[in-house]
Amino acid sequence: MGSFFKAASKSQRLALALCVAAATTLVFWGAVHNGFINYDDPVFLGPPFRGLGAGSLRRMFASFYDCNYAPLSMLSLSVDFALWGLDPFGYHLSNILLHAANAALFCLLWLEISEPTAARDGAQPAAVAAALFFAWHPLRVQSVAWVAERRDVLCGFFFLLTLWLWLRSLRPGWWHGARGKTAALGAFLLALLAKSAAAPLPLVLILLDIWPLRRLPAAPRRWGAAPSVWKEKLPFLALAAAFAGLAIAAQSKGGAIMGWAESRPWDRAYQIGAGLVFYLGKLLWPAELGFYGWQWPPIRAAVWAGTVATTALLILAAWSRRLRAPLLAALAYQTLLLAPVLGFVKIGHELVAVRYSYLSGLAWAALFGAGVREFARRRRGVAVAISCLLLGALAAATRAELLYWRDSASLWRRELRIDPLSWMARPNLAEALIAKGRLGEAILYLEEHLRLYPQDAPARQVLEDIIKRTGTTIRDHARFHEQIGLEFASRGEFAKAAWHFERGIKYEPSSTRLHAELAQAQLGQHGTL
């Protein structure tokens, strides 16, 4: 076993990366049985982008689509359509394989970064631990299981490839010098064409130059002493600026840009502060992973946990000179990658979304690997056991999270449990129920939504169309509640059953049947059945 902890050869690195990719594929394999989600999936799989002809390619690269400019991602979905039609299996398979490739690339990247630092013993298992921590974490599920988020996994692939090629350009070998830097620039262009979230990457390269590469001094006043380090970043900065402009234009066209003038200073500070700490909180306790974060109650626990964790890390960085550089670098990296979706020039309507952690969470995975490596030098057996237990728990949580994404109905039901005031959950759940022919439930959810958000004209129109088409009456509403209540009662969920029976009685007070069913549910609720 001792030889395994020595520096890795090229063949060993490749073997490790392939093992990481295979293990990641196995954990996420259940997603191939999932269907499409009725939010954004129909948009990104729409007829304009189903072909590979000249007209479709022109639309992909010369126009914005649904507040986005991501032509390479649209092209990849079009290739899937050519191969699979509208069978969701193939689309999910592509997302899983891309995510597995990202895990493998991150493993190689971790080894590359670790080369110039300290001794190299223990690097291989630490790289595997870091890659699996990134790949198996439940925060990755939204990006992988949601077909429309092909942008995350595809952009992530070229983002990681850019970093790997850049680091290789600084080492002796085939990729050294201009060849590696040119290849890195090409990979960066592909990352931007997949999703503009890669735009902060040039700043990440500068951060790497400060630590761990130490090509730039830590003191900013001395940065001018290395002009070549800055000059080599200029093409990357120019590409990033161009695509940042395209992203802002695309989001502005869709009304998804929030400027400084559109919110009060306190609201803006809240958006920035909550966004900065939310993702670290969810990283530490990945429970209740909602679709989007809009309201304070659903994100409260993660924000407080992230605040405590961030404060602790800053105190630790101030106290420990040895840990200062890695901890501050990780916090700086996360801030750079989250900047476009924070409150500076806010892109997107939502406050937070767990999928934004796909790229921004890489630094914490890297630190996890470094921690495993340091602990293994002192207590190798304990380090291996704890790492295996933690990674196993993450894999189990990820597989459980994948089940919520099996179809639209299960996803939106879970969203309602997390955020009962969600403005998007009930209409989307109603749409999923309509597709299944469960019109009664759809009517009830739409009515409940309109009581909360009476200004939602599209939802009101859908409700009116269903009622007109089905000839629904007040008596039918009582029947709908009764049917749902009986479903809950059959599963032993008597409190929910009683609530629906009570609602049914409000529509039909004289129904002796509903009164009897309510009494039975109440008995069951108190454990007397």
Helix or strand or coil: residue 346?
strand
CA–CA distance from 509 to each of 54, 420, 520 (Å)?
63, 27, 17
What whole-number distance in Å separates Cα of residue 59 and Cα of residue 482?
A: 50
Q: Which fold has domain 409-525?
A: 1.25.40
Measured from the Cβ of residue 406, the count of other Cβ atoms closer than 10 Å reads 16
What's the pTM value of the predicted model, to 2 decimals?
Answer: 0.92
490, 483 contact by CB (below 8 A): no
How far is Cα of residue 268 from the mean position of the Cα atoms in its chain?
Answer: 23
Whole-number Å distance between alpha carbons of 241 and 236: 9
Question: What was the pLDDT predicted at 3?
Answer: 36
* Predicted pLDDT at 44: 86
Q: What is the pLDDT of residue 518?
A: 86
Which whole-number Å values give the CA distances from 193 to 69, 161, 297, 382, 473, in the listed order?
7, 14, 36, 44, 52
Closest listed residue to residue 332, CA positions, set 366, 290, 284: 366
Tens of pLDDT along the chain (529 residues) come to 333 334 457 888 999 999 999 999 999 999 999 999 999 999 888 776 677 777 778 888 988 887 889 999 999 999 999 999 999 999 999 999 999 999 999 999 999 998 654 445 678 999 999 999 999 999 999 999 999 999 999 999 999 999 999 999 999 888 999 999 999 999 999 999 999 999 999 999 999 999 999 999 888 888 888 899 999 999 999 999 999 999 888 877 766 665 545 566 777 788 889 999 999 999 999 999 999 888 889 999 999 999 999 999 999 999 999 999 999 999 999 999 999 888 655 555 678 999 999 999 999 999 999 999 999 988 999 999 999 999 999 999 999 999 999 999 999 999 999 999 999 999 999 999 999 999 999 999 999 999 899 999 999 999 999 989 888 877 788 888 888 888 888 888 888 888 888 888 888 888 888 888 888 888 887 765 5
* Residues 245-273 as b or e (16 or more Cβ within 10 Å = b): ebbbebbeeeebbbeeeeeeeeebebbbe
Domain residue spans in the chain?
2-408, 409-525
What Cα–Cα distance (Å) separates residue 501 from each residue in 433, 504, 515, 519? 20, 5, 8, 9
Residue 293: helix, strand or coil by DSSP?
strand
d(CA 485, CA 504): 9
Whole-angstrom Cα distance, residue 102 to residue 278? 24
Predicted pLDDT of residue 261: 52
Which neighbouring-strand residues pair with 346? 258
**Three-class DSSP category at 45:** coil
